[in-house]
Amino acid sequence: MQRVVETFQDPKRFSCFLVTNPNNPISVDTALRYWGCATQAGAYVAGALYPPSSEASPPNAALQEKFLPLKVAGVPHVSFGSPPDWNETLERLSQEAKGVLNGTSQAQPIPQPVVFDQSARTVTLFLPGFHKSDVKLSQVYVLLFCWHLCQ
């Protein structure tokens, strides 16, 4: 079980990708919330991808800003009516999409899910897609914070 956990938490061995439709605000908000959930679960989210229906109009700066520091890229349509030709699909990827899928296009590091600052006596949670009102710290977090400060 420990090897599974280590694999899941190692971005070189396991990464997640958000798939969203930039033309649908609910899709964007849902992808952001999934990012926050995956981050708290210890999974590494490597980028955001969008379908070909929106590829003709690249995402605007506001959308890219919502997903910072993740990179956003379009991917070609894959038909599952018959077995897909993955070689053809990979050849049709843009350089930007290849960078996102290879993990080489991150401009900035992704923040840690939980940061304890002993000097300021604060806990910072990285929860993209969540609002402050969505987060209720339980006694477990408070005890964990106190324990961490005492170390």
Domains of the chain: 2-102 (3.40.50.300), 114-150 (no CATH)
- pLDDT at position 55 is 46
Mean pLDDT of 44-69: 76
Residue holding tokens 């919502």? 66
Higher pLDDT, 90 or 54: 90
Please choose, from the candidates 130, 114, 131, 126, the residue with its C-alpha nearest in 3D space to the C-alpha of residue 33.
Answer: 130
From CA 11, how far away is CA 151, in angstroms rounded?
A: 28
CB hemisphere CA count around 103 (13 angstroms): 13
How many other β-carbons are positioned within 10 Å of the β-carbon of residue 68?
Answer: 12
How many other β-carbons are positioned within 10 Å of the β-carbon of residue 20?
Answer: 25
Mean pLDDT of 109-126: 81
Higher pLDDT, 28 or 42: 28
From CA 51, how far away is CA 93, in angstroms rounded?
A: 12
Mean pLDDT of 66-92: 84
Q: Strands, E, within the chain: which ranges? A: 16-19, 45-50, 72-74, 114-117, 122-125
Higher pLDDT, 142 or 10: 10
- pLDDT at position 56 is 46
- pLDDT at position 32 is 95
- pLDDT at position 147 is 62
Report the mean per-residue pLDDT for the chain: 80
145 band by pLDDT with thresholds 50, 70 and 90: low
